[in-house]
Amino acid sequence: MFCPKCGTENSDANFKCTKCKQTLKTVTASAGSDPISTIIPYKNAKALIAYYLAVFSIIPCIGSPLGIAALVLGIMGLKQAKEHPEAKGKVHAWIGVLVGGLFGVVYTGLIIFGIVTAVLKK
């Protein structure tokens, strides 16, 4: 498929031009659309993994690395959901970004605070 704006050749699966970001085709809800993908965005694995990592980042001992990973994968999942609207998963990705980012930063801060306090007491 060629972009009507800049003429760049794009894959038929692309919704936006890879060069100028012009919309090539719109997503339409059809009778045969998959209702499960609305609840579980299995086509956007990064957003789904970010969601689960964010949920488990609440656990104090492992919250820091899981939260940071959830933040990074959540951002990647948002990018994928923007580029491929049929993949869905924006809510899952946002939960990964917000919850994972929050607990990742809080627990990392607590670890740094504990290390600094222990070093200063010596």
pLDDT digits (tens, 9 = 90+) for 3-41: 888 888 888 878 888 889 888 875 544 444 566 666 777
Core vs surface per residue 45-70: b (16+ CB within 10 A) or e: ebbbbbbbbbbbbeeeeebbebbbbb
What angle do the packed helices 63-83 and 45-56 form, to 10 degrees? 160
Give residue-wise pLDDT tens across range 83-117.
888 888 899 999 999 999 999 999 999 999 999 99
Rounded (10°) CA dihedral 109, 58, 98, 50: 120
3-class SS of residue 45: helix
The pLDDT of residue 26: 56
Predicted TM-score (pTM) of the model is 0.68
